[in-house]
Amino acid sequence: MKTLHFIVSMLFLFASCAPKINTQITKTYPTLNFNDEVKVFGLKTVLPANIEVIGSIKIGDTGFTLNCNYETVLENAKIEARKIGGNAIKITEHLFPSVFGSSCHRIKAVILKIDNVNKLNIIENINSDDFNSNKNELLTQITLNDGRVLKGFIKNDMDGVIYFTLVKNGTSTETQVNKSEIKEIIKP
């Protein structure tokens, strides 16, 4: 009996450490393989009207969630999309971690099924105050210690972490970068 109680307690503990995931499904397709690409479209991406929305997802914090950085939250969203045959997600809301609120990234997104997703004509809807698409030099450039270069906008600069909107190939993605990983920041 004690063993069963221990196992149930451990399962509860591990389950409470994972992000809370709510998926609403309107239509399903065959499940995609775990390594099939799922495109992520950022908050400011405008997609054509003829795409198919097959569900929605909300990933939040249980209050005990431990592993909830932006990359992990996005990966969880991609897994849920693959389960119902979605090959893209469109972020509709992104809440950053805060000092007095949740320590997790939280997102809402729609799950999409798009034919020829890689040939989709993407329009980035960024305010002209933020970015002029013809002038790449207006982007902040972050060079990481490993040599990678990120271009985009700094959204928030908090204790040891920079929250960054990465702009690449016409889409934007919210991410975070630890200041200890940064070699150089070049602002426009």
pLDDT higher than threshold 70 for residue 37 = yes
Residue of higher predicted confidence among 132 and 118: 118
The answer to whether the CB of 22 falls within 8 A of the CB of 58 is yes
Tokens 């150089």 sit on residue: 184
Residue of higher predicted confidence among 55 and 21: 55
Return the CA Rg of the chain. 19
Range of the structural domain that residue 159 is part of: 126-186
Do residues 109 and 131 share a domain?
Answer: no
Do residues 32 and 58 share a domain?
Answer: yes
Strands 20-25 and 52-60: antiparallel
The answer to whether the CB of 95 falls within 8 A of the CB of 102 is yes
Residue of higher predicted confidence among 3 and 21: 21
pLDDT at 15: 44
The answer to whether the CB of 57 falls within 8 A of the CB of 109 is yes
Query: Which residues share a beta bridge with 123?
Result: 46
The answer to whether the CB of 87 falls within 8 A of the CB of 138 is no
Do residues 110 and 51 share a domain?
Answer: yes
**CATH number of the domain where residue 135 is located:** 2.30.30.100
